[in-house]
Amino acid sequence: MSEKTKWGNFFEDFRVGQTIAHATPRTITEGDVALYTALTGSRFALTSADTFAHSLSFPRAPVDNLLAFNIVFGKTVPDISLNAIANLGYAAGRFGHRVYPGDTLTADSTVIGLKENSDGKTGIVYVRSCGVNQRGQIALDYCRWVMVRKRDPASPAPETVVPALHEAVAASDLVIPAGIRVEGYDTTLSGSTDLWDDYRVGERIDHVDGMTIEESEHMMATRLYQNTARVHFNQHAEKSGRFGRRIVYGGYIIGLARALSFNGLANAFSVVAINAGRHVSPAFAGDTVYAWSEIIEQMSLPGRHDLGALRLRTVATKDRNCADFPYRGADGSYDPSVLLDFDYTVLMPKRPGKSPPPE
């Protein structure tokens, strides 16, 4: 084993408070945007057309926030999760400065928690990861926690630190892009006349369409994000691995679910927070992904009468359509079809001249 080769960090390599600057800065381009469209089928007007973006006072079409998320996530993998067994969850994700083609993102992660598992072979690492543009502005930050192998089971357990994470990003903490205006928002071009006021907490929406995943698609997406986790790429090794095959990168499922959600949530023009997220089961090539969403919370935004936020749960399933909203059973366990349980917040224009409904 050459000492020049990176094998990633193991559980005992992490210290609470430690900040790791990640390699491979990345200039995001129109090429990445085209690939993101080709790989997910996203149709949200804001990220599809400069003209639509101009109509909301964006300088041009911003990059889909989930593309930026996946690129930042990819940078963290060689340092944080190369020896991870499971990507356990996300929380407190917040998008800041919009990313435009030409922007360069770099990323770092700070260890905010550590907890060794009782088996003594693995532990949970909690990090806050942050993606920053070439002007030093925060594009996004989010927490995630992963189960990581110990290099040496005999190494002592660190002091347990479990970070307190809010259940959701509060409305007052959301970053609304400065200067955006929605009075010229065109619901013909956006694909739906349903605006913020038309949704109700508890409402559930089946996104209807299904998308079958091919090996080359998830691998191209994952390489585009420069994510190096081995389980996604190497059939020769995975054939004798846990599942006998390559696992689809979970961030690709998030992107597909968001693209599918267009049918029913076309005016959710921007994802502004990731409150929580869990990859409930692994996806493989050949699986067909469906999705449905529930409105969890309908949030007014301080100082904005034209724009509101919706907190959503989007559930992605495999090989099962979502007409009956498959989720958890009475015992709390997930329906076996569920791939993803994703809790996030989107922006949506309000109906002009109408006050927000009582909450």
The answer to the question of residue 30 lying near a second copy (CB under 8 A) is yes
211-244 burial, b for 16+ CB within 10 Å, e for fewer? bebebebbbebbebbbbbbebbbeeeebeeeeee
Whether the CB-CB separation of 285 and 108 falls below 8 Å is answered with no
User: Does residue 129 bind a second copy (CB under 8 A)?
Assistant: no
| 235 part of the interface to a second copy, by CB under 8 A | yes
- Residue list 63-82, contact with a second copy (CB under 8 A): 78
Instruction: Tell the smallest beta-carbon distance from residue 172 to a second copy (Å).
Output: 28
Provide, rounded to whole angstroms, the least separation between the CB of residue 88 and a second copy: 24
Regarding 188 and contact with a second copy (CB under 8 A), the answer is yes
Footprint of a second copy on residues 263-302 (CB under 8 A)? 263-266, 286, 288
Q: By CB under 8 A, name the one of 12, 64, 141, 217 that touches a second copy.
A: 217
> H or E segment at 166?
none
For residue 213, the SS3 value is coil
# binding residues, a second copy (CB under 8 A):
83
Q: What is the CA radius of gyration of the chain?
A: 20
Q: Which of 58, 126, 196, 233 contacts a second copy by CB under 8 A?
A: 233
State which residue, 91 or 293, has the beta carbon closest to a second copy.
293
Structure tokens at 243: 């599942």
**C-alpha of 138 from chain center:** 16
Determine if 201 is a binding residue for a second copy (CB under 8 A): no
User: Can you say whether the dihedral through the CA atoms of 76, 79, 83, 87 is positive or negative?
Assistant: negative
| Half-sphere exposure of residue 247: CA atoms within 13 angstroms, side-chain side | 19
CB 248, min distance to a second copy, A: 13
Site for a second copy in 144-183 (CB under 8 A): none
Given 110, 117, 226, 300, the residue binding a second copy (CB under 8 A): 226
Chosen residue from 221, 254, 276, 291 binding a second copy by CB under 8 A: 221
By CB under 8 A, is residue 246 in contact with a second copy? yes
Query: 140 and 130 in contact (C-beta within 8 Å)?
Result: yes
Query: 33-52 mask for a second copy (x: CB under 8 A)?
Result: xxx-xxxxx-x-x--xxxxx
Euclidean distance between CA atoms 168 and 189, whole angstroms: 31
Q: Does 19 bind a second copy (CB under 8 A)?
A: no
CB nearer a second copy, residue 204 or residue 278: 204
Percentages of the chain per state (helix, strand, coil), in multiples of 5: 25, 30, 45
Beta bridge partners of 317: 290, 338
The yes or no reply on residue 16 touching a second copy (CB under 8 A) is: no
